[in-house]
């Protein structure tokens, strides 16, 4: 299979040295070395998440921690603020886990407003709420600082946040915002293969969790948390050590270029992509709500997107069709991980040739 350069919103391309770290020989998952590895990763992830709270790793994709957190931390009811397909996933998870849940939706391309959050929390019906930081189906990045400001009036309502497609790619000040559980996956801006998820979790969330019955087993957030202290950063089940070797290296590389620089490259690539898309098509989302990691483009020329992707594939590139209802009406260009300006310019050049744009 010839490799295609991936401009899809996960999985993204992994650096060869990071990929090679996946092949590190195994060690015992109850060894001192395993504890040291997992502690090192947690401390580095605390920098990425801008948090002093505990980091939990999970051998699953990000959805596992989304389900685990909504199940472990919701007692009374959860308000789900959705701006697209991944926001709605929280609602389905809540319902499937027997939680009382209300879904607050917006039209495609719109964001969650602080006013809507305020009105919902003021009812007193909820002890948990969920927000999607970066909705990968619509390319919306929510105004979380504004949401944080109204949420400060409701400190007892726990804030769960899906930052799966943005953590690492843009600054998210978890502690400053007051997010109780912020979740991400390995295969997006952290630029690792899929199969590992990570989250931050506050003590306040864990204390609530202790009062919640039937938290499940594998994704019981309280059990995961307690194990860190009981067994020196180890995990109840055998974790994906291969990902952890790779993550440790990836974090070293990110920290050595500097998080500011890593974030800025995403921002610059977003601007470049939006400029190109606005010239030839139309953007779905207006600033300041545009995602830093994925740009969603209105298919105003009504091109056949699967044909376009076939032609791009022959040239060694791949973009993403629209997601769910937005399939064929939009297409998506991801600019996550180590993707460079030159690589994006290469993609745009091929798209212009194939579509006869210029």
Ligand X SMILES: *Cc1c(COP(=O)(O)O)cnc(C)c1O
Alpha-carbon distances, residue 138 vs 34, 135, 237, 294, 327 (angstroms): 39, 6, 35, 9, 11
Question: To the nearest whole angstrom, how small is the minimum distance from the Cβ of residue 341 to ligand X?
Answer: 23
Rama region for 356: left / alpha / beta (φ>0; ψ in -120 to 50; rest): left
Which of 6, 58, 62, 181 forms a contact with ligand X (CB under 6 A)?
62
Q: Output 59 or 61, the one with its CB closest to ligand X.
A: 61
> Quick one: 72 or 154, whose CB is closer to ligand X?
72
Count CB neighbours of 44 within 10 A: 18
Determine the distance from the C-alpha atom of residue 205 to the mean position of all C-alpha atoms in its chain, rounded to a whole number.
Answer: 20
Does 58 participate in binding ligand X (rule CB under 6 A)? no
Q: Binding of ligand X at residue 69 (CB under 6 A)? A: no
Cβ at position 349, least distance to ligand X in Å = 27
The answer to whether 14 and 195 have CB atoms below 8 angstroms apart is no
240 near ligand X (CB under 6 A): no
Count of residues interacting with ligand X (CB under 6 A): 14
* Residue 108 makes contact with ligand X by CB under 6 A: no
In contact, 250 and 191? CB cutoff 8 Å = yes
Nearer to ligand X, 77 or 84 (CB): 84
Binds ligand X by CB under 6 A, chosen from 69, 72, 128, 165: 165
Q: Does residue 82 interact with ligand X by CB under 6 A? A: no
273 in contact with ligand X (CB under 6 A): no
By C-alpha distance, which of 166, 89, 161, 152 is closest to 131?
161
d(CA 275, CA 33): 48
- Contact between 86 and ligand X per CB under 6 A: yes
**Nearest CA-CA partner of 243 in 45, 5, 69, 24:** 24
Please say which residue, 88 or 99, places its beta carbon nearer to ligand X: 88
Which residue of 67, 162, 180, 220 would you call a contact of ligand X, by CB under 6 A?
Answer: 162
The DSSP bridge partners found for residue 294 are 334
DSSP letters, 232-260, are TS--SS---HHHHHHHHHHHHHHHHH-HH
Determine, following the binding rule CB under 6 A, whether residue 10 of this chain makes contact with ligand X. Answer: yes
Among 51, 58, 132, 202, binds ligand X (CB under 6 A): 132
d(CA 352, CA 349): 5
Residues 173-232 touching ligand X, rule: CB under 6 A, are 185
C-beta closer to ligand X: residue 132 or 273: 132
User: What residues line the site for ligand X (CB under 6 A)?
Assistant: 9-10, 61-63, 86, 132, 134-136, 162, 164-165, 185
């Amino acid at each position: 299979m010839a490799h295609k350069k991936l401009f899809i919103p996960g999985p993204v391309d992994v650096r060869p040295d990071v990929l090679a770290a996946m092949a590190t020989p195994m060690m015992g998952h109850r060894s001192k070395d395993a504890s040291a590895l997992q502690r090192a990763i947690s401390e580095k992830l605390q920098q990425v998440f801008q948090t002093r709270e505990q980091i939990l790793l999970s051998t699953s994709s990000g959805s596992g921690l989304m389900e685990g957190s909504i199940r472990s931390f919701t007692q009374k009811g959860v308000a789900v603020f959705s701006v697209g397909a991944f926001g709605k996933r929280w609602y389905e998870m809540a319902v499937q886990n027997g939680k009382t849940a209300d879904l607050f939706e917006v039209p495609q391309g719109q964001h969650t407003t602080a006013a809507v959050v305020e009105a919902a929390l003021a009812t007193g019906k909820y002890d948990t709420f969920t927000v999607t930081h970066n909705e990968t189906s619509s390319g919306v990045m929510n105004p979380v600082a504004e949401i944080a400001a109204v949420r400060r009036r409701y400190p007892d309502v726990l804030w769960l946040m899906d930052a799966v497609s943005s953590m690492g790619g843009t600054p998210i000040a978890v502690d400053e915002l007051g997010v109780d559980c912020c979740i991400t996956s390995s295969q997006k801006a952290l630029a690792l293969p899929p199969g590992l998820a990570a989250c931050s979790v506050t003590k306040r969330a864990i204390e609530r969790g202790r009062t919640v019955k039937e938290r499940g087993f594998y994704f019981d957030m309280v059990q995961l948390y307690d194990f860190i202290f009981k067994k020196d950063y180890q995990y109840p089940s055998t974790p994906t050590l291969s990902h952890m070797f790779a993550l440790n290296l990836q974090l070293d590389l990110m920290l050595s270029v500097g998080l500011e620089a890593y974030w800025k490259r995403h921002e610059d690539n977003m601007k470049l992509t939006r400029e190109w898309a606005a010239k030839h098509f139309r953007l779905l989302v207006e600033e300041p709500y545009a995602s830093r990691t994925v740009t969603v483009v209105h298919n105003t020329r009504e091109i056949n997107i699967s044909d376009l992707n076939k032609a791009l594939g022959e040239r060694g590139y791949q973009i993403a069709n629209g997601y769910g209802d937005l399939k064929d009406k939009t297409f998506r260009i991801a600019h996550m991980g180590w993707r460079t300006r030159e690589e994006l310019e290469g993609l745009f050049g091929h798209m212009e040739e194939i579509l006869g744009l210029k």
